[in-house]
Homo-oligomer: A and B are copies of this chain.
Amino acid sequence: MGSERSEPGSVRPGGRTARVRAAVLQAAGDALAERGFAHLDLADIARRAEVGKTTVYRRWGTVTSLVADLLVDMAEQSLSRTETGSLLGDLKANARLVQRTLADPRQGALFKAMIAAATCEAKTAEALHHFYDIRVEEWAHCVQQAIDRGEVPEDTDTHEVIRAVSAPLYYRLLTSGDPLDEDAADRAAEAAAAAARAGAYLRSK
Protein backbone atom coordinates (compact mmCIF):
# COMPACT_ATOMS: atom_id res chain seq x y z
CA MET A 1 0.00 0.00 0.00
CA GLY A 2 1.38 3.35 -1.00
CA SER A 3 4.05 1.69 -3.11
CA GLU A 4 4.37 2.98 -6.68
CA ARG A 5 3.48 0.45 -9.38
CA SER A 6 6.45 0.44 -11.74
CA GLU A 7 6.14 0.05 -15.49
CA PRO A 8 6.39 -3.54 -16.75
CA GLY A 9 9.80 -4.16 -18.25
CA SER A 10 11.63 -1.79 -15.94
CA VAL A 11 12.69 -4.38 -13.35
CA ARG A 12 13.57 -7.24 -15.70
CA PRO A 13 14.44 -5.61 -18.99
CA GLY A 14 16.65 -8.46 -20.23
CA GLY A 15 16.16 -11.55 -22.36
CA ARG A 16 12.54 -12.35 -23.11
CA THR A 17 11.18 -8.94 -22.19
CA ALA A 18 13.58 -7.21 -24.58
CA ARG A 19 12.74 -9.71 -27.31
CA VAL A 20 9.04 -9.04 -26.84
CA ARG A 21 9.57 -5.29 -26.98
CA ALA A 22 11.61 -5.55 -30.18
CA ALA A 23 9.04 -7.82 -31.84
CA VAL A 24 6.14 -5.57 -30.87
CA LEU A 25 7.84 -2.37 -32.01
CA GLN A 26 8.75 -4.02 -35.31
CA ALA A 27 5.16 -5.18 -35.78
CA ALA A 28 3.84 -1.76 -34.79
CA GLY A 29 6.03 -0.10 -37.41
CA ASP A 30 4.83 -2.53 -40.08
CA ALA A 31 1.19 -2.12 -39.16
CA LEU A 32 1.47 1.65 -38.95
CA ALA A 33 3.14 1.83 -42.34
CA GLU A 34 0.70 -0.37 -44.21
CA ARG A 35 -2.62 0.17 -42.42
CA GLY A 36 -2.21 3.72 -41.13
CA PHE A 37 -2.75 5.16 -37.70
CA ALA A 38 -6.55 5.17 -37.65
CA HIS A 39 -7.54 1.54 -38.19
CA LEU A 40 -4.98 -0.02 -35.94
CA ASP A 41 -5.66 -2.18 -32.92
CA LEU A 42 -3.27 -3.69 -30.46
CA ALA A 43 -4.70 -7.17 -30.94
CA ASP A 44 -3.54 -7.13 -34.56
CA ILE A 45 -0.08 -5.98 -33.53
CA ALA A 46 0.11 -8.78 -30.95
CA ARG A 47 -0.80 -11.29 -33.65
CA ARG A 48 1.91 -9.98 -36.01
CA ALA A 49 4.51 -10.00 -33.25
CA GLU A 50 3.45 -13.52 -32.20
CA VAL A 51 3.00 -12.24 -28.69
CA GLY A 52 0.17 -12.50 -26.21
CA LYS A 53 -2.51 -9.84 -26.62
CA THR A 54 -2.54 -9.35 -22.86
CA THR A 55 1.14 -8.44 -22.87
CA VAL A 56 0.68 -5.62 -25.37
CA TYR A 57 -2.24 -4.18 -23.44
CA ARG A 58 -0.41 -4.45 -20.14
CA ARG A 59 2.83 -2.82 -21.28
CA TRP A 60 1.50 -0.14 -23.62
CA GLY A 61 -2.25 0.04 -23.21
CA THR A 62 -3.01 2.39 -26.09
CA VAL A 63 -1.90 2.85 -29.67
CA THR A 64 -0.57 6.32 -28.97
CA SER A 65 1.69 5.25 -26.13
CA LEU A 66 3.00 2.38 -28.25
CA VAL A 67 3.86 4.91 -30.95
CA ALA A 68 5.55 7.03 -28.30
CA ASP A 69 7.74 4.07 -27.37
CA LEU A 70 8.47 3.44 -31.04
CA LEU A 71 9.66 7.03 -31.33
CA VAL A 72 11.95 6.65 -28.33
CA ASP A 73 13.39 3.58 -30.01
CA MET A 74 13.90 5.38 -33.32
CA ALA A 75 15.45 8.41 -31.64
CA GLU A 76 18.15 6.16 -30.19
CA GLN A 77 19.41 5.00 -33.57
CA SER A 78 21.35 7.94 -34.95
CA LEU A 79 22.02 8.52 -38.64
CA SER A 80 25.37 9.49 -40.08
CA ARG A 81 25.96 13.06 -41.14
CA THR A 82 28.02 14.02 -44.18
CA GLU A 83 30.18 17.12 -44.44
CA THR A 84 30.81 18.82 -47.75
CA GLY A 85 32.60 22.00 -46.73
CA SER A 86 29.89 24.45 -47.75
CA LEU A 87 26.59 25.35 -46.15
CA LEU A 88 24.61 24.70 -49.32
CA GLY A 89 26.29 21.33 -49.77
CA ASP A 90 25.55 20.24 -46.22
CA LEU A 91 21.97 21.45 -46.34
CA LYS A 92 21.45 19.64 -49.65
CA ALA A 93 22.79 16.45 -48.10
CA ASN A 94 20.36 16.88 -45.24
CA ALA A 95 17.45 17.69 -47.54
CA ARG A 96 18.17 14.66 -49.72
CA LEU A 97 18.26 12.44 -46.62
CA VAL A 98 14.90 13.74 -45.43
CA GLN A 99 13.44 13.55 -48.93
CA ARG A 100 14.55 9.96 -49.46
CA THR A 101 13.14 8.98 -46.08
CA LEU A 102 9.76 10.57 -46.65
CA ALA A 103 9.53 9.41 -50.28
CA ASP A 104 10.10 5.80 -49.29
CA PRO A 105 6.66 4.16 -49.11
CA ARG A 106 7.20 2.41 -45.81
CA GLN A 107 9.13 5.14 -44.01
CA GLY A 108 6.93 7.89 -45.41
CA ALA A 109 3.76 6.20 -44.22
CA LEU A 110 5.38 5.55 -40.88
CA PHE A 111 6.29 9.19 -40.37
CA LYS A 112 2.84 10.33 -41.40
CA ALA A 113 1.30 7.92 -38.93
CA MET A 114 3.58 9.05 -36.13
CA ILE A 115 2.75 12.69 -36.74
CA ALA A 116 -0.92 11.78 -36.71
CA ALA A 117 -0.49 9.90 -33.44
CA ALA A 118 1.34 12.85 -31.92
CA THR A 119 -1.62 15.14 -32.59
CA CYS A 120 -3.77 12.87 -30.45
CA GLU A 121 -1.90 12.68 -27.18
CA ALA A 122 0.51 14.89 -25.26
CA LYS A 123 2.84 12.04 -24.31
CA THR A 124 3.27 10.96 -27.91
CA ALA A 125 3.72 14.56 -29.02
CA GLU A 126 6.50 14.97 -26.48
CA ALA A 127 8.26 11.87 -27.83
CA LEU A 128 7.97 13.19 -31.37
CA HIS A 129 9.34 16.60 -30.39
CA HIS A 130 12.26 14.93 -28.66
CA PHE A 131 12.92 12.85 -31.76
CA TYR A 132 13.15 15.94 -33.95
CA ASP A 133 15.13 17.89 -31.35
CA ILE A 134 17.82 15.24 -31.56
CA ARG A 135 17.90 15.21 -35.35
CA VAL A 136 17.97 19.00 -35.57
CA GLU A 137 20.67 19.24 -32.93
CA GLU A 138 22.85 16.82 -34.89
CA TRP A 139 22.69 18.86 -38.09
CA ALA A 140 22.85 22.29 -36.46
CA HIS A 141 26.61 21.88 -36.24
CA CYS A 142 27.02 22.34 -39.98
CA VAL A 143 25.31 25.72 -39.74
CA GLN A 144 27.67 26.64 -36.91
CA GLN A 145 30.57 25.80 -39.19
CA ALA A 146 29.07 28.06 -41.85
CA ILE A 147 28.99 30.85 -39.26
CA ASP A 148 32.66 30.18 -38.45
CA ARG A 149 33.47 30.35 -42.16
CA GLY A 150 31.60 33.65 -42.37
CA GLU A 151 28.99 32.31 -44.80
CA VAL A 152 26.08 33.47 -42.66
CA PRO A 153 25.62 36.24 -40.07
CA GLU A 154 27.07 35.87 -36.56
CA ASP A 155 24.02 35.22 -34.39
CA THR A 156 22.05 33.05 -36.79
CA ASP A 157 19.75 30.55 -35.03
CA THR A 158 21.41 27.35 -36.24
CA HIS A 159 18.52 25.07 -35.29
CA GLU A 160 16.05 27.24 -37.14
CA VAL A 161 18.02 26.88 -40.38
CA ILE A 162 17.93 23.10 -40.17
CA ARG A 163 14.21 23.16 -39.46
CA ALA A 164 13.75 25.44 -42.47
CA VAL A 165 15.19 22.71 -44.69
CA SER A 166 12.79 20.02 -43.47
CA ALA A 167 9.70 22.18 -43.21
CA PRO A 168 8.79 22.45 -46.91
CA LEU A 169 9.34 18.73 -47.40
CA TYR A 170 7.02 17.79 -44.55
CA TYR A 171 4.53 20.44 -45.64
CA ARG A 172 4.43 18.94 -49.11
CA LEU A 173 4.15 15.40 -47.74
CA LEU A 174 1.14 16.32 -45.64
CA THR A 175 -0.76 18.98 -47.54
CA SER A 176 -0.21 18.11 -51.19
CA GLY A 177 -0.37 15.03 -53.37
CA ASP A 178 2.75 15.98 -55.31
CA PRO A 179 5.66 13.55 -55.15
CA LEU A 180 8.71 14.38 -53.06
CA ASP A 181 11.47 14.40 -55.66
CA GLU A 182 15.08 15.50 -55.53
CA ASP A 183 14.23 18.87 -57.03
CA ALA A 184 12.03 19.57 -54.04
CA ALA A 185 14.90 18.66 -51.73
CA ASP A 186 17.38 20.87 -53.56
CA ARG A 187 14.94 23.76 -53.60
CA ALA A 188 14.37 23.44 -49.87
CA ALA A 189 18.11 23.50 -49.23
CA GLU A 190 18.71 26.44 -51.55
CA ALA A 191 15.87 28.45 -50.05
CA ALA A 192 17.12 27.84 -46.51
CA ALA A 193 20.67 28.72 -47.46
CA ALA A 194 19.60 31.91 -49.25
CA ALA A 195 17.38 32.99 -46.36
CA ALA A 196 20.12 32.24 -43.84
CA ARG A 197 22.65 34.31 -45.80
CA ALA A 198 20.13 37.15 -45.97
CA GLY A 199 19.83 37.07 -42.17
CA ALA A 200 16.28 35.80 -41.91
CA TYR A 201 17.15 33.49 -39.02
CA LEU A 202 18.86 35.91 -36.63
CA ARG A 203 18.34 35.12 -32.95
CA SER A 204 17.76 38.72 -31.96
CA LYS A 205 14.44 39.64 -33.47
Contacts and interface: CB of A to CB of B under 8 A. Distances in A.
A124 to B, nearest CB: 10
A166 interface: yes
A5 interface: no
Copies in the complex: 2
DSSP majority for the A interface?
helix
A176 B116 contact: no
A160 B125 CA distance: 28
A170 interface: yes
A120 B38 contact: yes
A174 B111 CA distance: 12
Contacts of A103: none
A132 interface: yes
A194 interface: yes
A164 interface: yes
A118 interface: yes
Contacts of A132: 175-176
A22 interface: no
A168 B164 CA distance: 6
Nearest to A182: B205
Contact of A174 (B118, B120, B195): B118
Contacts of A146: none
A167 B192 CA distance: 12
Contacts of A177: 125-126, 129
- Pick from A63, A195, A199 the residue with the most CB of B within 10 Å: A195
A171 B175 contact: no
Contacts of A112: 119
